[in-house]
Chains A and B, each alone.
Chain A
């Protein structure tokens, strides 16, 4: 077997007679220069990763906050009938999404994680509404990400109109008594949703 103490390189040849000393010296610094460049790039990467803000969604003022939630019923992308009224008594996040929007793609894994951590039967529920999207691509988008919550097709955009959605992703928090508690614009994270849910639950007592 190979033995480490026999560690040895091949015999080093004497420098070629023609090799100028200057070129040898210049070559000697290559490793150092490359290492310096790699360090700078690596440090930049670490700094960017370390300083990334936890959430990019913001709460926005919206006329329907504090109002009764507009009706939300129709056929899900799976083809089953659904109505928000069936979730009455539970906290609900309504998420407007589209398969074509990058921030929606970004937040999707967060929503899946959030839904997974809150999968108890009386826990907060998630409802998706496809915004200006083909039902087949919206469905494929949800299936690919592993989303299991009901999502409505919203043909004609009547639901989006009722909620005052301008561009996905937008997310609404709805209380067990069917009141819109908050409206968020931008991609959410699981921690963000948890934070707002706890706050709303405390305020509700």
Chain B
């Protein structure tokens, strides 16, 4: 019943995507606009199919329908309801189903959003590309990654339950869906980029149309990455939050490219420059999501080295190749025609800063990609094994991050087109003083280490500079009587809030990774041990039994608070025992406890692993601020393109602008419609 329903849903989705794509192709080829337009009608059917399949899967999980192999392998009667529901994305086939559902939702939203432009060939092509992507993923479910495959032989009485690491923390309910909302969301900008290349219309209109989709996906991806780091910090028991694992890198690569795009698209909107570059970034972002999915396939325990025994590995690789060929081929074909006529006048200008920002982000992505695939390449070429670990990534990325922090301080205060040193000095003297004071204070407080001090100093520089921009914007908004909160919303101001969050994250990472202390203490019941200025009192052991889990907890009071309960847990009938850490989190530092060895005799001493890391909690705060900034940036602010004549290529106006007011600091100054609406000439 569930299997039949699920198969029906998958096939409905596949048929809707395939027929929709076919209808659009036919309409375009036969020059029948009404036919091409009708292609959008298949999106709701696609969504219906995905929803039916998802409902069937959740129903099978919740009713313990072990006749479906996926359910038997990833849930059990003892699994708590929450982890039964999340079982849908705890292994490969089910997570492809989640992917399909999210994609169908995005496509339907896209079709609905552009319902009034249904006669535009750009929308036809974009819908066509989206359908082709959807057909690929539903095709995977219809064939090699069928989540509704039934078990061979008798139906088992009970299932095996999900991987123990996936039933240890409720974050598993949020982290994968958020990540997928981010990953899959890049399909829509990609579809419009391809449509734009095919139709040869690369003006600023499609950028406006897809920038917000990108921002949306980027925001979800950020949430997903931060939650993933938080989850690994709370569950994996080694006190870290980022290990440069291929799985993590796979989510980080598209994030880097999308971040670069969100910056450089502003240059295109304001100056009409970097058109082909922006298209390339969108194509690269989507390609990297596909490559990342291929490298990791899915799930926590999967790794880059596990793909060759999977049925869908070669298909994902083929899909990646097709995406690359289509994207790169179209750019090669259209690139010359679409290039913008102008150039960047002065490197010390807003667009110059954005260009450097893009170089740094793309360099960052390249470094991470190289580190991720290098072991594979090296082995293929030299036949020897190497491993690329944290030292490589840290050495390569820390200078890039420092440069980005510097740019984050300087970029937002630079005017478009060009500037002079006096302007720059006016705007940066206060942040620079604050940065210097921060470094001096840190040195006085005993902080040593060039990289850490540089990070703190540049972070203070960037923080002060961005807060200055926000203060000016809110003040200006208040002065214009439109409410000071207006100075916090909109693209530029939301971007400043994101910058503030990134600064907080950078400081938290630098502090926790440079000044963390790790060690073991052995304590007898009733006694107290000291570690790095904290008092750990061990009260005794407690055994907790639930149907799904049996755990031996050590009750530990940290500085009198608690008790915290690090544990060794066993889930279900399996024989695996996993450590469950406990964290005393505070604004200054986190005390991270694990049970390293249980007492061998009753009443004996327990060995606790202790990690004390300063400022870790601010990592999550900073992540939340980044997401808040992304939300604020998505709220329509006041567009000021048209009053800012920078986009008009008349030299005299540009001259005047160089000495003009800081455009982005004062959102209230402009009430004019967007440039793309006033300038009517279609791109050639």
Contacts and interface: CB of A to CB of B under 8 A. Distances in A.
B136 interface: no
Contacts of A198: none
B398 interface: no
Interface stretch (A33-41, A65-73, A173-181): A33-41
Interface in A89-139: 102-103, 105-107, 109-110, 112-113, 115-116, 119-121, 125, 136, 139
Interface string B205-224: 11011000000000000000
B325 interface: yes
Given A28-B339, A121-B573, A143-B237, A8 B205 contact: yes
B607 A4 contact: no
Given A5-B120, A8-B680, A9-B204, A35 B331 contact: yes
B676 A144 contact: no
A32 B576 contact: no
Given A79-B597, A79-B598, A48 B380 contact: yes
B117 A39 contact: no
Given A35-B335, A119-B576, A191-B309, A4 B204 contact: no
B48 to A, nearest CB: 26
A3 B205 contact: yes
Nearest to B641: A10
Given A2-B676, A49-B376, 18 more contacts: A6-B676, A7-B122, A9-B275, A9-B681, A10-B647, A13-B649, A32-B335, A34-B335, A42-B328, A45-B377, A46-B317, A78-B577, A109-B303, A113-B302, A119-B575, A146-B236, A148-B574, A148-B576
B306 A9 contact: no
A4 B317 contact: no
Interface string A148-171: 110000000000000000000000
A191 B120 CA distance: 50
B104 interface: no
Contacts of A11: 648-649, 679, 681
A125 B576 CA distance: 11
Contacts of B305: 106-107, 109-110, 187, 189
B595 to A, nearest CB: 9
A4 B342 contact: no
Nearest to A79: B597
Interface in B59-118: 114, 116-117
A200 interface: no
Contacts of B607: 79
Give the interface size bracket for A toward B: 35 or more
Contacts of B612: none
Given A13-B342, A28-B336, A109-B303, A49 B596 contact: no
Contacts, number: 214
A107 B380 CA distance: 17
Contacts of B308: 52-54, 189, 191
Contacts of B376: 48-49, 52
18 contacts: A4-B206, A7-B122, A8-B203, A10-B204, A29-B336, A30-B339, A35-B332, A35-B335, A39-B324, A45-B377, A46-B324, A79-B598, A110-B305, A119-B576, A146-B578, A148-B576, A189-B308, A191-B309
Interface of B: 114, 116-117, 120, 122-123, 160, 163-165, 201-206, 208-209, 236-238, 243, 271-272, 275-276, 294, 300-303, 305-306, 308-309, 314, 317, 320-321, 324-325, 328-329, 331-332, 334-336, 339-342, 373, 375-377, 379-381, 385-387, 520, 568, 573-579, 594, 596-598, 600, 607, 647-649, 674-677, 679-684
Contacts of B331: 31, 35
A106 B375 CA distance: 10
A202 interface: no
Contact of B385 (A103, A146, A191): A103
A2 B203 CA distance: 13
Contacts of B679: 8-11
A144 B238 contact: yes
Do most interface residues of chain A lie in helix, strand or loop, or is the interface mixed? Answer: helix
A18 interface: no
B301 A113 contact: yes
B164 A30 contact: no
A78 B341 contact: no
Nearest to B568: A78
A139 B607 CA distance: 13
A144 B317 contact: no
B377 A48 contact: yes
A78 B387 CA distance: 27
A121 B649 contact: no
Contact of B117 (A5, A34, A191): A5
B380 A31 contact: no
A79 B335 contact: no
A112 B574 CA distance: 13
A51 B386 contact: no
A4 B120 contact: yes
B317 A49 contact: yes
A54 B309 contact: yes
Contacts of A191: 308-309
Nearest to A14: B341
A103 to B, nearest CB: 5
Nearest to B238: A144
> Quick one: which of B305, B309, B683 has the most chain A CB within 10 A?
B305
A50 interface: yes
Contacts of B120: 4-5
A9 B237 contact: no
A165 to B, nearest CB: 18
Given A107-B305, A191-B308, A146 B165 contact: yes
B328 A148 contact: no
Given A35-B332, A148-B164, A148-B578, A2 B309 contact: no
A140 interface: yes
A148 B236 CA distance: 12
A8 B328 contact: no
Contacts of A12: 341, 681, 684
A116 B649 CA distance: 63
Nearest to A25: B336
> Quick one: which of A5, A7, A105, A107 has the most chain B CB within 10 A?
A7
Contacts of A113: 301-302, 306
Nearest to A141: B238
Nearest to A31: B335
A79 B604 CA distance: 13
A7 B196 CA distance: 10
> Quick one: which of A4, A51, A187 has the most chain B CB within 10 A?
A4
Nearest to B196: A7
A56 B163 CA distance: 26
